[in-house]
Amino acid sequence: MKNIAFIFLGLFFSFQVFAQKDTDTVISNNPQKLKVKLLYFHITNRCNTCRSIEAAVRKTIDENFKTELDSGIIDLYILNCELPENKTISEKYQAYGATLAVTKVVGVKEKTDDLTNFAFAKIHDEKVFVSELKSKIQELLK
């Protein structure tokens, strides 16, 4: 009986860890070609708005920058900032909660724009969100 309890407990924690890791996405195909990094951080307990922002970010990339993503010109990071393994990158981008950032990469130099306020202000209209995020990325790709 005790063993069964331990097994269930073990399984429960495993599911928790896998469930959290499942949310992380890192697409980085060619660091040599890299021009723009798009990063979205979130916490473990997420609200609908936070999930909508992630969906709209993915949509922006899928519909407009698929080629750039595949060729490595754009990197996409969707990370849980509360996971220990993401601590360094989260601190680098000052992401302690839901955070949307876009970074222009020139050689080893990075210039980051924080788009979190934009994201929360515009997410109620996904069309506008996608269109404006697309424009921002296009500007950085020039």
**What span, in angstroms and rounded, lies between the C-alpha atoms of 28 and 69?**
8
Minimum Å distance from CB 122 to another protein? Answer: 9
Choose, by CB under 8 A, the member of 35, 46, 58, 134 that binds another protein: 46
Instruction: Determine if 99 is a binding residue for another protein (CB under 8 A).
Output: yes
Structure tokens at 141: 């790709």
Check binding of 92 to another protein (CB under 8 A).
no
Strands 74-80 and 36-42: parallel
For residue 78, the minimal CB distance to another protein (Å) is 15
CA distance 132 to 125: 11
Phi, psi of 34, deg, nearest 5: -55, 130
Q: Which of 3, 45, 67, 88 binds another protein (CB under 8 A)?
A: 45
Asked if 128 touches another protein (CB under 8 A), the answer is no
Rounded-to-integer distance, Cα 40 and Cα 61, Å: 12
Residues 19-38, interacting with another protein (CB under 8 A): none
CA–CA separation, 105 vs 64, rounded Å?
19
Is 120 a binding residue for another protein by CB under 8 A? The answer is yes
Q: In terms of CB distance, is 69 or 130 closer to another protein?
A: 130
